[in-house]
Structure 1
């Protein structure tokens, strides 16, 4: 056997993407280059790693076994590299963060300076809804989560960052109101929701229940950005986090509608499991946030009071 680490990496990428084309794009290689590496790897085995069904390439059961072994080999190589850098005095390793979708407006400002200070840390950020983030945290698939409410059922440490303020907003065609919108008038509008499992959706549902609003027409969308664009287009109104709509408010594409009981206020937090033995990279990130959060918030989020 004379396979290379590069060939194993190509095999894994093809398995994970299910496509030579997609694998070549993610590896920044040409399709012929990927095919050549796969052929060189296949030539060392008598049992097929792949089979072609129609125009699609499919990995065989044997190919999956080899890919699983390749993953363990590459993980060990990566661990060796991290240990080498650590012995040289660098903070090195993986940092896996899960962030609720609205937190995408926060995460970059908390990680940019950190990565500049610790360039040997490899970062991955998974942005999804709250339910998926918490599931990943409990399953040990991520080290740290960024959420707007701390779940009661999870035993987690936390660091509070800043306020998360949610307002009722409409498009520029909305009339300017000096007083809070009446319950009757609000009920005439179509309400635009985030998907189930979103913390923003939950906050909106709680507000509606507390106000005993009779919701007649609704739209459900799967991202904060999609909701924002729908409101701008005049499809309805929604309750949205201030942090994700600041530019649209400045441009006049969105308007805050005064409403009793709003804004809803929660706090952005980073959380991590109490039971988890954190590696050096996540530990260092937590300390970085603890020491620099006030400066970061003052620099970038002065409009949040």
Structure 2
């Protein structure tokens, strides 16, 4: 056996993502580079580690055992580095966070100064949909998550960071051409663009439409906030979107807010973690930093 730490890290990432493509993106490597390292790693075992069906990767039972051992080895290597840094009086370790896609407009402002002050801290951040964020919390795979709606169950602790306001928006030319818009009721034939099922924004939209007794005749469903934004700009339809992700578009006039009864909807961006979780020194330091500086960050960047 002559496998390298790099091969272990790549194999673990492929095992976690179940995709060569996704693993290469998260590792900032090319797909051929990842495939070659997986092939070299596999060559050292007589039993197969993975099976590829279509473009999806499936771990064999033996592969699952090796992935578990590889994770333990990587953690031990990190622990050695952490201990060395700790003896030198430095904060050192990994901070693992999962966030819903719109959260990418929020969390960087709470991380920047913390990471600058603690050069030995490595950040691992997964930007994904709400369902996977909740799954990563349940599996205790992350230190913290960022969501805009509470998660069902009482096994989580929360810290409010700032308000999340959602408005009905549309292409300004189409809005100007539609005289049916008013303060009380949306036009019945309005094409509405939704996020995918399970999205926090989708849940908020559906609750609003139900409460206002608005029946959507034409529904368009897209998988990311950015895709929804571009579709609205292009005039495919209208959507209810968090203002935090469309500030530039509102300022340059490619989107306009359409005043409606019951809007804006206000939720809260929340940092969430498992109740009773034993935080690492890095996670403890980050939590303390956010508690002390969240009001200043909110005023400076989100006023």
Measured against the shorter chain, the TM-score band is: 0.7 to 0.9
Which deviates more from structure 2 when the two are superposed, residues 150-159 or residues 65-74? Answer: 65-74
C-alpha spacing 1:186/1:251, structure 2 compared with 1 (3 Å): same
Cα deviation digits, residues 220-271 of structure 1 (max 9, x gap): 1111111111111111111110001111101111000010110001111111
Q: Secondary structure at the match of 1:165?
A: strand
Does the alignment pair 1:80 with 2:80? Answer: yes
Decide whether the 8 Å contact of 1:180 with 1:260 is kept in 2: no
Give how far 1:74 is off: 2.5
Change (3 A) 1:162 1:176: farther
User: 1:101, CA displacement in angstroms?
Assistant: 1.2
Partner of 1:271: 272
* Matched residues, number: 299
Partner SS, residue 157 of structure 2? strand
Query: Does structure 1 residue 251 correspond to structure 2 residue 256?
Result: no
Q: CA deviation at 1:154?
A: 3.2
Q: 1:213, 1:176 → 2: CA distance?
A: 21
Q: In structure 2, what is the equivalent of residue 287 of structure 1?
A: 288
Partner of 2:234: 233
CA offset at residue 24 of structure 1?
11
Q: Which runs of 5+ in 2 are unaligned?
A: none
Cα 1:188–1:291 shift into 2, 3 Å: same
CA–CA distance in structure 1, aligned partners of residues 275 and 136 of structure 2: 15
Q: How much does 1:80 deviate?
A: 1.1
Contact 1:11 1:38 in 2 (8 A): no
Aligned-CA RMSD value: 3.6
Match of 2:111 in 1: 111
User: Does the residue aligned with 1:175 lie in a helix, a strand or coil?
Assistant: helix
Return the index of the structure with the highest Cα Rg: 1
In structure 1, C-alpha distance between the alignment counterparts of 2:102 and 2:26, rounded to whole Å: 28
Counterparts of 2:182 and 2:250 in 1: how far apart (Å)?
A: 18
TM-score (norm 2): 0.83
Contact 2:164 2:268 in 1 (8 A): yes
More displaced stretch, 208-217 vs 65-74: 65-74
Question: After superposition, what is the alpha-carbon deviation per residue over 1:142-182, rounded to whole angstroms, capped at 9, x for unaligned?
Answer: 11111112235233222211111000101121129999725
CA distance in 2: counterparts of 1:35 and 1:18, whole angstroms: 14
Query: Which consecutive residues of structure 1, in runs of 5 or more, have no partner in the other structure?
Result: none
Contact 1:177 1:258 in 2 (8 A): no
Q: Given the two structures, how large is their TM-score scaled by the length of structure 1?
A: 0.82
